[in-house]
Amino acid sequence: EIVLTQSPGTLSLSPGERATLSCRASQSVSNNHLAWYQQKPGQAPRLLIYGVSTRATGIPDRFSGSGSGTDFTLTISRPEPEDFAVYFCQHYDYSPSFGQGTRLDIK
């Protein structure tokens, strides 16, 4: 079972300041089998990125995903006020797992 560890736990930034969120896997992830989600308070997670770097339908291009092997990154180039939320990574698997999340806070 692959364990996903996200860092930092909380990231405090000003709107417009580039956000870099990390997801590290305990074993190498094959075939770009990683997705990212955004969750706002009281809402369900929303799919942002799948296949490491493909944006889901309707996701703005300020969101981008990258990485390979065990290290993956979600970048928000110029966060808007509505982007301050919690972000989760998820590994594709027979029994998929999620990271514990990174909270993006407004400084």
Partner 1 sequence: QVQLQESGPGLVRPSETLSLTCTVSGGSISVYHWSWIRQSPGRGLEWIGYTYHSGSTNYNPSLKSRVTISVDTPKNQFSLKLSSVTAADTAVYYCARTRVGWETVYFFDYWGQGAQVTVSS
Cβ atoms within 10 A of the Cβ of 83, count? 19
Question: In angstroms, how far apart are the furthest CA atoms of the chain?
Answer: 39
Positions 54 through 93 that interact with partner 1 (CB under 8 A): 56, 88, 90, 92-93
Among 24, 53, 70, 101, binds partner 1 (CB under 8 A): 101
The residue (of 19 and 49) whose beta carbon lies closer to partner 1 is 49
Q: Which stretch binds partner 1 (CB under 8 A): 21-29, 32-40, 63-71, 77-85?
A: 32-40
Among 9, 14, 41, 43, binds partner 1 (CB under 8 A): 43
Cα–Cα distance for residue pair 63/78, rounded to 1 Å: 9
Q: Are 102 and 8 in contact (CB under 8 A)?
A: yes
Q: Which stretch binds partner 1 (CB under 8 A): 15-23, 41-49, 66-74, 75-83?
A: 41-49
Phi, psi values for residue 31, rounded to 5°: 55, 30
Q: Are 79 and 17 in contact (CB under 8 A)?
A: yes
The residues of the shown chain that bind partner 1, judged by CB under 8 A, are 33, 35, 37, 43-47, 50, 56, 88, 90, 92-101
